[in-house]
Copies of this chain bind each other. A is one copy, B any other.
Amino acid sequence: MADANLDFDRYHRRGYPEAVYCASKSLDQCRNIARMWRERSDTEDVGTVLFTKADRERAAAIMAELPDAYYDEQVHLLAWPPTPPQPSGGRVVVACAGTSDVPIAREAALTARYLGREVVELVDVGVAGLDRILSKRDILTSARAIVVVAGMEGALASVVAGLVSCPVVAVPTSVGYGAAFEGVTALLSMLNACAPGVSVVNIDNGYGAGHIAAQIAAPYDTRSPDVADSRLVEENSHA
């Protein structure tokens, strides 16, 4: 019996394909899903599939079916087909507080890139040395969505949000020890950011943040029109 029931329709319904979270799947399950994806792609455009949190063993199982997939071992991410689409929409900036946050930051960056956005990364710009982030204000203000990745106390999210007009998607990481509680402290900190404009995803969920940033920065022509052109009339509308 098959253990999976893939939602291929998602690409058409939402504009973004399903991704496969591999960490809790067996090797057999990973390989079977890769095969199902390959077979479906023979008959239909189902977009670029991402396999997330795939260690080397799982990556090998997947690449047995999709040998030309792109694999980033530091990030534990596979993408297939391996070539990202031509960038469209606005710029996504991904900023991370420390060197230890780089793998999650890159997961966000690669996700946004494979979903079609241009991405700029800013690395090791934590608030203990404020000049590191303050010297990047030009890049920050050029973004249509910013992903902030930080562990420990996660203060970078508040600081960045206070500097820009676009939304910040914050990713707490499990970097730290003791009362960092595997990322819970950064998560709570980001949920309480004193600067509005910060929303938060799960701990270490670089994929999720990259997905949302790609949605926020989607090209104008694929999104609902500005309301001046809107004709839908609703009772409860505050227009």
Contacts and interface: CB of A to CB of B under 8 A. Distances in A.
Contact of A4 (B89, B99, B215): B99
Interface of A is mostly: loop
A47 interface: no
A48 interface: no
A100 B130 CA distance: 25
A195 B162 contact: no
Contacts of A185: 185, 188-189, 191-192
A4 B98 CA distance: 7
Q: Which of A139, A194, A197, A236 has the most CB of B within 10 A?
A: A194
User: Interface range on chain A: under 10, 10 to 19, 20 to 34, or 35 or more?
Assistant: 35 or more
A185 B159 CA distance: 17
Contacts of A189: 153-155, 185, 188-189
B180 A202 contact: yes
Interface string A1-17: 11111110110011110
Contacts of A10: 128-129, 162
A124 interface: yes
A130 B117 contact: no
A166 interface: yes
Interface string A52-74: 01000000000000000000001
Given A99-B33, A238-B109, A4 B123 contact: yes
A166 B24 contact: no
B215 A202 contact: no
A48 to B, nearest CB: 14
Interface of A: 1-7, 9-10, 13-16, 18-19, 21, 23-26, 29, 33, 53, 74, 84, 87-91, 97-100, 102, 109-110, 113, 117-132, 134, 138-139, 141-144, 151-155, 158-159, 161-167, 169, 172, 174-205, 207-209, 211-212, 215-216, 218-220, 222-228, 230, 232, 234-239
20 contacts: A3-B124, A7-B128, A21-B98, A89-B227, A120-B234, A128-B162, A130-B159, A139-B232, A142-B230, A152-B193, A153-B155, A155-B194, A167-B212, A177-B202, A178-B191, A178-B202, A181-B188, A191-B201, A196-B212, A199-B212
